[in-house]
Amino acid sequence: MNYDQARYSRDGQHEPLLSEKNESTVDTTEDSPLPDDLTRDELTLPGLSEPEIARHYTRLSQMNWAIDAGPYPLGSCTMKYNPKFTEDVAADPNAAVHPDRSAESVQGNLELLHGLQEQLATIGGMDAVTLQPPAGAAGEFTGILVAKQYHEAHDNDRSEVIVPASAHGTNFATAAMAGYDVVELPSGEDGRVDLEALEAAVSEDTAALMLTNPNTVGLFERDIEEIAEIVHDAGGLLYYDGANLNALLGRARPGDMGFDIMHYNVHKTFATPHGGGGPGAGPVGVVDELAEYLPSPRVRETETKAGYELYEPEQSIGKVHGFLGNWLVLVKAYAYIARLGDDGLLDASAKAVLNANYLAEQIDLDIPHGPFHHEFAATAGDRDAADVAKRMLDYGVHPPTTKWPEMVPEAMLTEPTEIEGQSSLDDLAEAFNLAYADSDEVLESAPNRTTAARIDQVSAARDPQLSWQAIDADADGD
């Protein structure tokens, strides 16, 4: 890679709004069925040719970053490339079915959803699955509500959920939103769950332990069976955060490890679109004992096995999303699993682990613990991880997640996923090393070759300007 030529340059990269390029007035005085107070005589719109519009949006896309442009090694996020064939499947006219149609008239839809339920149950080692939750965090919340319903049905007065220090922030929020007190569990010196600390934390108040395996620094919890035994002996449930399931596909199943509940991130594990506010999907799987508490409706085969029907589990927590979930996202997940098959899923997890360990060997930063599964947390040491990350932008790559997990000082949590080839990983490692070796002066001013310069993150968080109008008003002093 030639780093002397920046991928982006702020010089000449300002792209005006369409309205700033050209405006034309459109006459709207033609007869309208709307009342006069809801209409106007004229409307000012950009008057541009098709090539001008195409170039405008192309330039905007070149000023941003995307998985189609290059690696997106945000640790924990699992930013996979979204294969285009799944978009074709979702765009099939036959998939455009109104969600309120009767079950009898959408048997094909129900067959696909039932098939996805079965596939996910097999992959996770679960007995039953709901497809309703619209995101991973919503799946977490659903799973903990199922746990809460279970304890209430058995007259178990449980008030606490244990969450490891290395857990995703959503775990803490989920437990609190469900009404539980959060007990934070410290990590051991090896970066894994401290069994003595866990034994001290569990009690008759423990409703569940929320755990990610492999954990947030890419380490497999080798004592998982003992962890499950400790939690179960206390009467609690073991919840699996599916954020890192990408490392286990086809090789190990949470249900076999002793987990009672889990959520799946289809964007992380099965390559549906990620980010942008949705829509997403976060299916939840449970062991048989908890199936009757899942959201309603669920899909099952009819008694005669002649078709599919919707039903409500006996002690369901109710709906957590409209209808049967985000249908087209689920179609993409089904298509991805079907296309890869057993061998393809095995290959995906193998390459995810291989790529993480290969990249870790190529970079100069210190990396505690190891070997790793799909991700690792390097430390920038006495450098500021955020400064190193911003400098990496100048070398034409997207940086990893920074400053988290807190158990690694100045963390740079990196996950290349299985989609990257060796040359891509080598480029990423070179950017790591070049940025890390730069002087403090250079790091503190970075990025210097991007469309947008360094922003004031504190001011941006405290005084967000969410529209061009707000920015213009601020510039005018209004």
Domain ranges of the chain: 84-338
pLDDT band at residue 478 under the 50/70/90 scheme: low
Judge whether 309 and 287 are in contact, CB under 8 Å. no
Contact criterion met (CB below 8 Å) for 388 and 443: yes
Q: Rounded to whole angstroms, how far apart are CA atoms 56 and 35?
A: 36
Mean pLDDT of 378-394: 97
Indicate the pLDDT class of residue 8, thresholds 50, 70 and 90: very low
Judged against a pLDDT cut of 60, whether residue 99 lies above it is answered with: yes
Ranges 57-71, 221-235, 386-400: which has the least confidence:
57-71
Q: In terms of Cα–Cα distance, which of 115, 243, 277 is closest to 254? A: 243
Task: Kindly list the distances between the CA atom of residue 432 and the CA atoms of 372, 391, 393, 417, 453, in Å, as whole numbers in the listed order.
Answer: 18, 9, 10, 17, 20
Does the pLDDT of residue 67 top 60, yes or no? Answer: yes
Cα angle for residues 327, 331, 337 (degrees, 5° grid):
145
pLDDT number for residue 5 = 38
pTM of the model: 0.90
Characterize the bridge pairing of strands 261-263 and 284-286: antiparallel
| Residue 436: half-sphere exposure toward Cβ, Cα within 13 Å | 20
Q: Provide the pLDDT for residue 277.
A: 59
Written as six digits, the tokens of 262 are 């889990």
Q: What is the mean pLDDT of residues 409-417?
A: 97
Spell out a b/e string for 462-474, using b for 16 or more CB atoms within 10 Å of the CB, else e: eeeeeeeeeeeee
Question: Which pLDDT belongs to residue 471?
Answer: 74
Look up tokens 């709901």; give the residue: 130
Predicted confidence (pLDDT) at residue 2 exceeds the cutoff of 50:
no
CA 293/CA 272 separation, integer angstroms: 27
Banded pLDDT at 475 (limits 50, 70, 90): low
Decide which of 127 and 58 is more confident: 127
Mean pLDDT, all residues of the chain: 92
Whether 243 contacts 136, CB under 8 Å: yes
Each residue of 351-370: pLDDT tens digit? 999 999 999 999 999 999 88
Task: Give the per-residue pLDDT at 9.
Answer: 41
pLDDT of residue 160: 98
* Residue 48 backbone phi and psi in degrees, to 5: -120, 155
Contact 470, 478 (CB under 8 A): no
Dihedral Cα 122, 248, 170, 365, nearest 10 deg: -170
pLDDT attached to residue 3? 42
In angstroms, the CA 76 to CA 216 distance is 7
Q: Cβ(231)–Cβ(202) under 8 Å? A: yes
Q: Any idea how long the chain is?
A: 478
What's the CA gap between 339 and 271, in Å, rounded? 12
Distance CA 72, CA 279 (A): 20
**Span of 173-177, 365-369, 461-465 with lowest mean pLDDT:** 461-465
What local confidence, expressed as pLDDT, does residue 465 receive? 83
Higher pLDDT, 60 or 287: 287
CA-to-CA separations, 279 to 13, 89, 132, 275, 326, in angstroms, rounded: 31, 17, 12, 8, 7
Percent of the chain with pLDDT over 90: 77
| Mean pLDDT, residues 294-312 taken together | 95
Give the residue with greater pLDDT, 274 vs 421.
421
Which pLDDT belongs to residue 279?
Answer: 78
Report pLDDT for 7.
41
Triad 451, 452, 455: Cα angle to 5°: 165
pLDDT bin (cut points 50, 70, 90) of residue 470 is confident
Mapping DSSP to helix (H, G, I), strand (E, B) and coil, where does residue 238 land?
A: strand
CA angle at 34 for the pair 33 and 38, rounded to the nearest 5°: 160
Report whether pLDDT(263) > 50. yes
**What pLDDT, in 10s, does the model give residues 389-408?**
999 999 999 999 999 998 89
Q: Quick one: pLDDT at residue 380?
A: 97
The pLDDT, as a whole number, for residue 278 is: 63
Torsion of CA 365, 366, 368, 371, to 10 degrees: 60
Confidence of residue 11 (pLDDT cuts 50, 70, 90): very low
Phi-psi region at 352: left, alpha or beta (left = phi > 0; alpha = psi -120 to 50): alpha
- Identify which has the larger pLDDT, 200 or 13: 200
* pLDDT value for 227: 98
Mean pLDDT computed over 82-101: 94
Q: Which pLDDT score, from 0 to 100, does residue 299 have?
A: 97
In this predicted structure, the answer to whether residue 237 has a pLDDT above a threshold of 60 is yes
- pLDDT at 10 exceeding the cut of 70: no
> How far is CA 215 from each of CA 33, 220, 264, 329, rounded to the nearest angstrom?
60, 6, 15, 26
Confidence of residue 464 (pLDDT cuts 50, 70, 90): confident
Q: Looking at 357-447, which runs of residues are DSSP E strands? A: 376-379, 401-402, 411-414
What fold, for 84-338? Answer: Aspartate Aminotransferase; domain 2 (3.40.640)
Q: Where do runs of H (alpha helix) occur along 34-168?
A: 50-62, 84-90, 107-124, 136-153
pLDDT recorded at residue 13:
61
Cβ-contact 366, 383 below 8 angstroms: no
Q: What mean pLDDT is predicted for residues 168-176?
A: 94
pLDDT at 456: 85
Confidence tier at 1 by pLDDT (50, 70, 90): very low
**Residue 423 Cα to chain centre, angstroms:** 26
pLDDT at 29 over 80: no
